Amino acid sequence: MMSTIARERKGLPKPESQWVAIIRVRGRVNVRKDVEYTLKLLRLHKPNHCVVVRYTPSVRGMLIKAQHKIAWGEIDFDTFYLLLRERGRAVGNKTLTDEMVKEKTDGRYNSVYELAEAIWRGEITFKDLEWLKPVFRLHPPKRGGYKRSVRRLYQEGGALGYWGTDIINLIRKMV
Rounded average pLDDT over 135-157:
85
Query: What tens digit of pLDDT does each residue of 62-112 get?
Result: 999 999 999 999 999 999 999 999 999 999 999 999 999 999 999 999 999
Among the listed residues 64, 69, 78, 90, the one whose alpha carbon sits nearest the alpha carbon of residue 6: 64
DSSP 96: P
Amino acid at 22: I
Q: Show Cβ contacts of residue 144 under 8 Å, excluding neighbours closer than 6 positions.
A: 173
Assess contact for 73 and 167: CB atoms under 8 A: yes
Global pTM value: 0.87
Checking if the pLDDT of 2 tops 50, the result is no
Domains and CATH numbers, the chain: 15-76+137-174 (3.30.1390.20), 89-132 (no CATH)
Rounded average pLDDT over 152-160:
87
Average pLDDT, the chain: 88
Amino acid at 141: P
